[in-house]
Every structure is written in structure tokens, then in C-alpha cells.
Amino acid sequence: MGSYTLAVSVTVLSVASFLIYPSSGVSHDILTTICSKTQNHDACERSLESDSRTRSADLPKLSLISIELTMKQADHNHRTFSDLRDNATDPRLEDSFRNCVGFYKEMQAQIRAAYHLSQKRQYQKITELVQSERLAQECASGIPINCLEIDALTTTMLLAIKTSESVNQYIAKSLA
């Protein structure tokens, strides 16, 4: 009777571990391949792996995760530039931050459009991310001061966009 209980326990544990860590998830090798197309491979991998869903995600889910991470960064940057605009005492800076708020509002709409295309599994049609990259750069170039915090916001935004672009390009090629 003891060996039967042991066999049942092992079976239950095996099934439980499969449910917790399904083997159908995106492999580390695929993440490495995806992130090798970005300028900062390690940061790309850390970003994707920072979301606990990545471990068990298939490629379509990874697309959604990457776009959600991009939206989260765009939302953060939008709030930051709104706060900077509201607290600016220099009219030139206020105008620059106001422009950035507009750019990020447009970017949020583009990222939502990319998300909807991903939901429809139309990865080859996701071009909004490239437009978002241009807007982030336009915001940064329009600020008349050098500021490490603003540079960091822009760098983080561009990394999120590049990561999403790379994920969706990989998926479009692999499903073609």
C-alpha cells in the first residue's frame, strides 16, 4: 500500500509541476534570439522576464505581454511629462513638455492599435511601434536642456518599443 501511495504522490506532483511550468512556453533560446535584434540584449531579456506570464507564454501571448510592457512605459512617461509640464516655470520647458505629453498621448493610441492587431494575430501589420519610436525621439529632441532623468525615460521607452518590435517581427516570420 505504501508504494501505491508513493506512486500516486509522484504522479500528482508531476501533473502539478506541468500545470505550473508548462513545457509549451517560449524557451530561453527564443527570448535570446528575439532580444539579439535589440541594442541591449540583456535589458530586453530582463524586461520580458520581469513579467511572470512570460515563463508560460506561447508566442502570441508573448506578443501581448511585450506590447503591454510598452504601454506601461508609455503611460509612465506620459504621467511624468504631464507632471513636468504642470510644474515648469520656464515657458520654453513648459512648451517642450506639453509637446511631449501630446506625443505620448498619440503613442498610447498607436500602442493600443498594435495590441488590437496582436489580439487578431496580425503581427505582420504591426507598424505602429515604429511610429511610436519616432515620437519618443521627437519628444526627447525637443527638450532644450540636458537631463539624465529625461534621457533615462527616453532610453527605457525606446527599449520597450524595440523589444515589442523584435517580438512581433520574430512571430510574424515564424508564423509566415
- Residues 92-133: pLDDT tens digits? 999 999 999 999 999 999 999 999 999 999 999 999 899 999
Class of the 25-174 domain? mainly alpha
pLDDT, residue 16, reads 36
Q: Which amino acid is at 57?
A: A
Greater confidence (28 vs 11) lies with 28
Q: What pLDDT is stored for residue 25 in this prediction?
A: 85
Quick one: which of 126, 76, 64 has its CA closest to 104? 76
With 0-12 / 13-18 / 19 or more C-beta atoms within 10 angstroms meaning exposed / middle / buried, residue 6 is exposed
State phi, psi for 24 to the nearest 5 degrees. -85, 5
Give the three cell numbers for residue 54: 512570460
Q: What is the mean pLDDT of the chain?
A: 88
Q: pLDDT tens digits, residue range 28-59?
A: 999 999 999 999 999 999 999 999 999 999 99
Q: Report the predicted TM-score, pTM, of the whole model to 2 decimal places.
A: 0.84
